[in-house]
Structure 1
Amino acid sequence: MGIFFTGFIIFLGLIILISGIFTVKQQTSAIVERFGKFNSIRNSGLQFKIPVFDKIAGRINLKIQQLDVIVETKTKDDVFVRLKISVQFQVLKLKVYDAFYKLENPQDQITSYVFDVVRAEVPKMKLDDVFERKDDIANAVKLELNDAMIDYGYDIIKTLVTDIDPDVQVKAAMNRINASEREKVAAEYEAEAERIKIVAKARAEAESKRLQGQGIADQRREIARGLEESVDVLNNVGINSQEASALIVVTQHYDTLQSIGEETNSNLILLPNSPQAGSDMLNNMIASFTASNQIGEEMKKQNKLRGITNKKKSKPKNIDLPSSEENDDEYRSEE
């Protein structure tokens, strides 16, 4: 009986001894209390406590943690939007006591501050500004949280606005606006391209007309030179200018008839085809030229007479006045 009791005491002592040994993981702190009162903070490694008297009240994670908070609020232009705020925080190693004993639920505390800051900042902005200034919102949340949580042993490492989700109808409207803007830009580019094409086409047509007119002028100039050479050749063989002109007109008349007859798709054209027709055309031309020359000569004569008359009218007349001595002599003789 004595041996059994001794063995039991030894076994109980070993259990009690073993219960006083514990380990703490890396980046973790353990809170040890004695009879319900704070005793010490134990860091990573093998640790000892007094069995029965001491107990581990809790463990604090010293790693950087992240808390995602979704906040729904309204912008300045009355658009409801959901923002996802990611808060990265860490317990300060020197303030483990405050982090453990001052806050019952630190994540709820952080969430409350995030809601307060976001709902104070976003209503000051329009929806487009929320997207453009999301970093400003994140910085405001970080500044507010740092001031509030540092007293509780928490350090706010960084805050991020990871998502901005407007109402479904608002997103659809924004997509339509974006599509309309892109269509507008595309229409402007298409109009500009069409304008460039029209301008280029007009310039090409203008250049074509200019070259065409120049070609016609060159053609007529060469025709006139050919006619002049033809008349000179005919004059050299004893044919006067009037006969030479008649011969050229008749020749061109028959050349025209021949070219029209050679065309397969030519339209109906009525022209005099007798040899006398060419002579009549030439006589009419000569008669019109003669009448024109006579009218021109008559106009020149009339203009010349008018010029002489105007010169006579504009020339001042010289009037000889008697001298003062002659006037005195005439006055004496009358006396």
Structure 2
Amino acid sequence: MEYISGILLFLLLVVLLSSFVTVKQGTIAVVTVFGKYRRQLPPGLNFKIPLIEQIHARISVQNRSVELSFQAVTQDQANVYFKAMLLYSVLDQNEETIKNVAFKFVDQNNLMQALIRTIEGSIRAYVATQKQANVLAQRNEIVEHVKHQIDPVLETWGYHLQDLQLNDITFDEEIMRSMSRVVASNNLKAAAENEGQALLITKTKGAEADGNAIKIAATAEREAAQLRGQGIALFREEVAKGMTNAAQEMQQANLDTSVILFTMWTEAIKQFAEYSEGNVIFLDGSTDGMNNTMKQLMAMQLNKQAEPKKS
């Protein structure tokens, strides 16, 4: 009798202990009765009807990630290799959402297979409409396309796509080499254009500087020529004034004005002798030659004196 009582007490203790269920934080337990959904248990210590209510599944509402690695083909038949990271989670903690998560798929492996294949198919469909030269620049467009296409499907499963990161996009080795050559040639082209622009600017600035230098030199030369001309004119004016005064004084003294011309003649010969620096000047030193020269000078003087009277 005591033996039977011990067995009954043990069974009662087991049943009592099985009536309490502990659910971890970030997890929701789904309870079924004879295989049918009954209710869900929140995190913490919960009570269930022993032997009748069963824990069908424990669903994590935390974010989950999975690595993807697959291949796609572009519109121009180039192979593209993707490595991506998928971040997803349960849509919310509503009862209908939890029921979809718990009963849509047989197990977690079937869910992951469907999720991965769906995302890969969406990316392959998008890449098939693009040329390989555009794929690298369309990371954001690919992600937005996948989210737009996949989110409605995942919501029916009770999940939400948090993020999709395309960590690596590569091509066949031959295509990568050709792309590298294209980039290198574009860089060389840009460098040549920059050098050409720099050379053009240098040449233009140099031409402007030369033009300004020529203008400055021409202006200086013109001013110098004006000053030289003014100086010669002043010199001639002063000479004329001096000769006029000398001629007037000699006339008042009843002296022949040809003496002035003779003096100028002798002064000129003296200057030739002192400052000729080896140059040879032929002068007629005979009496007739000097008389002819004096007559020519006197005739020039008379013409000069007659000009004011004519005016």
Same fold, judged at TM 0.5 (above): yes
- Aligned pairs for 1:131-280 (under 5 A) are 131-167=136-172, 168-229=176-237, 231-232=239-240, 233-238=242-247, 244=264, 247=267, 251=271, 254-255=274-275, 257=277, 271-273=278-280, 276=283
Q: Structure 1 49/77 Cα, relative in aligned 2: closer, same or farther at 3 Å?
A: same
Give the letter for the 1:97 counterpart.
Answer: K
Q: 1:255-284: per-residue Cα shift (whole Å, max 9, x none)?
A: 473xxxxxxxxxxxxx5256849xx9xx8x
Report the Cα offset of residue 114 of structure 1: 1.6
Give the letter for the 2:26 counterpart.
Answer: Q
Give 3-state SS (helix, strand or coil) of 1:149's partner. helix
Give the letter for the 1:21 counterpart.
Answer: F
The reply on whether 1:116 has 2:121 as its aligned counterpart is: yes
Cα root mean square deviation, aligned = 3.7
Give the letter for the 1:95 counterpart.
Answer: T
Gaps of 5+ in 1: 258-270, 291-335
Give 3-state SS (helix, strand or coil) of 2:161's partner. strand
On the 8 A contact 1:69/1:114 being kept in 2, the answer is: no
1:40 alignment partner in structure 2 = 39
Q: 1:185-228: per-residue Cα shift (whole Å, max 9, x none)?
A: 42133223312332223223322331343144235314522541
Q: Structure 1 227/26 Cα, relative in aligned 2: closer, same or farther at 3 Å?
A: same
Give the letter for the 1:196 counterpart.
Answer: T
Report the Cα offset of residue 243 of structure 1: 6.7
Report the Cα offset of residue 242 of structure 1: 9.0
- 1: distance between equivalents of 2:279 and 2:181? 79
Give the letter for the 2:192 counterpart.
Answer: K
- 1: distance between equivalents of 2:77 and 2:210? 53
Give 3-state SS (helix, strand or coil) of 1:124's partner. coil
- 1: distance between equivalents of 2:261 and 2:128? 103
2:99 alignment partner in structure 1 = 97
Q: Structure 1 256/45 Cα, relative in aligned 2: closer, same or farther at 3 Å?
A: farther
- 2: distance between equivalents of 1:80 and 1:97? 40
Give 3-state SS (helix, strand or coil) of 1:156's partner. strand
- 1: distance between equivalents of 2:265 and 2:167? 99
Give 3-state SS (helix, strand or coil) of 2:25's partner. coil
Give the letter for the 2:99 counterpart.
Answer: Y
Q: Structure 1 30/273 Cα, relative in aligned 2: closer, same or farther at 3 Å?
A: same
- Aligned pairs for 1:12-91 (under 5 A) are 12-91=11-90
On the 8 A contact 1:231/1:245 being kept in 2, the answer is: no
On the 8 A contact 1:24/1:44 being kept in 2, the answer is: yes
Q: Larger relative contact order (C-alpha < 8 A, sep ≥ 6)?
A: 2
Give the letter for the 2:25 counterpart.
Answer: Q
Give the letter for the 2:279 counterpart.
Answer: P
Q: Structure 1 251/95 Cα, relative in aligned 2: closer, same or farther at 3 Å?
A: same
Q: Structure 1 18/274 Cα, relative in aligned 2: closer, same or farther at 3 Å?
A: same
Report the Cα offset of residue 89 of structure 1: 2.7
Q: Structure 1 243/79 Cα, relative in aligned 2: closer, same or farther at 3 Å?
A: farther
Gaps of 5+ in 2: 248-258, 301-311
